[in-house]
Structure 1
Amino acid sequence: MNKTYFYLQTLLLVTILIFASSCNGQGKISKENKSISEPIKYDAGDVTTNGLLDKAGNMWFTTTKEGVFRYDGTNFTNFTEKDGLCSNSVNSVIQDNKGILWFATAKGLCSYDGINFVNIPLPKGTSQDVSPETGFPSSETETILSIIKDRKDDFWLGTDASGAYHFDGKTFTSYLKFKGRLQPPTNEIYNNCIQSIVEDDDGNIWFTSQTHGGISKYDGKVFTHFTKDDGLPDDMIFSSFKDKDGNLWFGTLDNGLISYKNGSFNYFNETDGLNNNMVSCFYQDKTGKLWIGSFRESTVSWFDGENFTSIPFDKKQKLVEIRFITEDKDGNIWFGGRYGILWKYDGKLLTDFTQQKRF
């Protein structure tokens, strides 16, 4: 009887140990996968702002709260201020001919050579930064929204409040500081927000103002400004893009898109088949298809040169306020936008990487 009882006790103990060991193993696996399986945390203040395919085939994604992410096709690596990044709020990224990455951040210009981050702040305003027409001052800012390098290898930087800067590597030169309207109208401070910059095939630099400054073209000597008075449907322009044929495209906040071809502007809106009038970004893929993003939920269009086609993404997939469209080395299309969203589209399947990039 005692032997039987001892045997049963021993068997029960072994069973418990085996079960506990099994549960601990499952716990580790669950913990490793927990971050991916948890409900996605959406933060309205977090925006995935830009995407870039670098020369090594990696994808880079910039955000307004989480710094930048590098994706090698398998794993994400997150870079923040703790790693030397100049600011966790990053609006855009480009790569120069030497392979150096340049980030437009809330703390100025930031470079990354693969080892070190280097900060180049914008120049501070002075008492002379007032409008020659009204005497009203311009808003001061540290934030860069848009960035390009022109054919001369010089930078053009668009700010969120003080117009644009040309930077030759040593000296900053200010432009368009007073071109936008007072924002808001009752505030006696100029706030020209340059959301995008693009260079055309002739070397002209084009700037778009989100604060009623319309579109400005700079030929190296003289600025030419285009507003509603010149026929534009809107003077609040959010995005710009140059396609493979050299045509320019501009997206308005509420009045469709604008194309510039052979010296003339053309306008498209919902009556022309565009699925909405709030155009946030453009991209032309390897096949030549022009992708058009929107501020509305789940709204992406294609333009084949004649017709617009809406891509029937499910609204439940939260493609909200798309801020960029880009392509990786394998031809997958990536979208990013409000709430920190990041999606990949392989032509058939739309995959959510919003949560995965964080772990």
Structure 2
Amino acid sequence: MIVLILSCNQNQPKNNNEHIESTNGTVRLKYTTGVRSILEDSKGNIWFGSYQEGVCLLQNGKLQYFTIENGLSQNQVRNIYEDKNGIIWFECGTGISSYDGNKMAKFTKRNYTAKKNWKRNKNSIWFKGNEREGYNKFEGDPGVYEYDGKELSYRTFPVKTIAGKENQYSVSTAFVRGKNAIWFGTYGAVIGYNGKDFKIINNETLGLDGKTAYFHARSIMEDTKGNIWIANNGLGVLKFDGEKVINFTKQQRLNKKDTKGNSLEKVFSIGEDKSGNIWFGTVGSGVWRYDGKSVKNFTKEDGLESQHIWTIYKSKIGELWFGGANPSGVYRFNGVSFERIY
């Protein structure tokens, strides 16, 4: 069965709905709910997805804002991707939209006829389920959508929902195309697919019972050495080297009970800079940097105003950009301190 629903938002945004602002100097996003996603596309444009206010395009020194009135499926923009044809894709809280350089439109065509047809296609883009939480009647079971450049097809994970934990396998992170596998982060698990088999990391495999800690993935990253880093909201940071999983937060004694202050427990984002340092963005405890030997904490005193770092994005020239909330903004580290850049 192929389900096709025609979108009523296929037209280019009308002038009365557009918000185009000439920056003439310092660029400052007007978001108040936070910068949740970032993409620097192949044309040099920069896209900023917000938590609840749509997406913004920085092009030729001008900011252009798009919301549901202009073709976005929802104003929460979790992830932004570019396909091999230069089309920009927006994974929203509900649904998906795309931008072809002229117009923003909802992408509503779905194929549900080959749910177990898993392959490692190097150019595929993967998206969360169509709902904010859980799965609609066409999806049925936990899984992801694969866009192979032609169609959007649903693939189911080799897992089943548990009564009372229906959201456990809802995708909560951007996908990672690793050296040996594709990785997906869900609220209750991280799932890897290597082209043949699946690797599942969750409460059961980690021996967690939910009383003292439970799996809650918010970001995943593969570093240049092939390690998988997992950001958890509450559990801290996990590191998977291909054989075993260690609790990095516990290993470094960065739990709140050990630090008596800022901790590496509520982690929402992870990035690696061009020197190989690993960076962690938290809620309420600033940003942490691991240089392979020690960990350093950066906070308001270091110029980092945002208290919730949603995303860490590596730009085309290798800079790390930190998108945050409370207050909203995008920051970079200049080698000494943080400075707001957008």
SS at match of 1:269: helix
SS at match of 1:193: coil
Q: Deviations over 1:17-39 (max 9, x none)?
A: xxxxxxxxxxxxxxx99xx9xxx
Matched, 1:286 2:274: yes
Matched, 1:267 2:255: no
Matched, 1:165 2:165: no
TM-score scaled by structure 2? 0.71
> Relative to structure 1, is the Cα distance of residues 153 and 257 closer, same or farther in structure 2, using a 3 angstrom cutoff?
same
Q: Deviations over 1:49-90 (max 9, x none)?
A: 111222233321101322111234844222223433333221
SS at match of 1:292: strand
User: Which residue identity lines up with residue 63 of structure 2 in the other structure?
Assistant: F
Deviation at 1:271, TM superposition (A): 5.3
Q: Which runs of 5+ in 1 are unaligned?
A: 1-31, 126-148
Equivalent residue number for residue 283 of structure 2:
295
- Cα distance in 2 for partners of 1:178, 1:230 equals 14
Deviation at 1:107, TM superposition (A): 4.1
SS at match of 1:173: strand
Contact 1:47 1:337 in 2 (8 A): yes
- Cα distance in 1 for partners of 2:247, 2:30 equals 38
- Cα distance in 1 for partners of 2:158, 2:167 equals 8
Q: Deviations over 1:153-196 (max 9, x none)?
A: 2232223323322324335224239645444x6xxx56632112
> Relative to structure 1, is the Cα distance of residues 72 and 246 closer, same or farther in structure 2, using a 3 angstrom cutoff?
farther
Contact 2:271 2:320 in 1 (8 A): no
Equivalent residue number for residue 253 of structure 1:
233
TM-score scaled by structure 1? 0.68
Contact 1:48 1:61 in 2 (8 A): yes
Deviation at 1:250, TM superposition (A): 0.7
> Relative to structure 1, is the Cα distance of residues 281 and 346 closer, same or farther in structure 2, using a 3 angstrom cutoff?
closer
Deviation at 1:333, TM superposition (A): 3.5
> Relative to structure 1, is the Cα distance of residues 74 and 111 closer, same or farther in structure 2, using a 3 angstrom cutoff?
same
Matched, 1:199 2:177: yes
Matched, 1:155 2:125: yes
Equivalent residue number for residue 6 of structure 1:
none
User: Which residue identity lines up with residue 34 of structure 2 in the other structure?
Assistant: V
Q: CA RMSD in A?
A: 3.5
Deviation at 1:123, TM superposition (A): 5.0
The number of aligned residues is: 287
Matched, 1:175 2:148: no
Contact 2:279 2:287 in 1 (8 A): yes
Corresponding residue to 2:218 among 235, 238, 250: 238
Corresponding residue to 2:48 among 61, 65, 74: 61
Deviation at 1:293, TM superposition (A): 0.8
Equivalent residue number for residue 218 of structure 1:
193
Contact 2:306 2:327 in 1 (8 A): no
Equivalent residue number for residue 91 of structure 2:
104
SS at match of 1:314: helix
User: Which residue identity lines up with residue 235 of structure 1 in the other structure?
Assistant: F
Alignment of 1:301-316 (within 5 A): 301-314=288-301
Contact 1:273 1:308 in 2 (8 A): no
Equivalent residue number for residue 228 of structure 1:
203
Identity of matched residues, %: 23
Q: Deviations over 1:326-352 (max 9, x none)?
A: 244565542223357113224145444
Contact 2:310 2:325 in 1 (8 A): yes
Deviation at 1:260, TM superposition (A): 1.5
Deviation at 1:264, TM superposition (A): 2.4
Equivalent residue number for residue 208 of structure 1:
185
Moved more, 258-267 or 237-246: 258-267
Greater Rg, structure 1 or structure 2? 1
> Relative to structure 1, is the Cα distance of residues 287 and 99 closer, same or farther in structure 2, using a 3 angstrom cutoff?
farther
- Cα distance in 1 for partners of 2:124, 2:264 equals 36
- Cα distance in 2 for partners of 1:180, 1:239 equals 21
SS at match of 2:311: strand
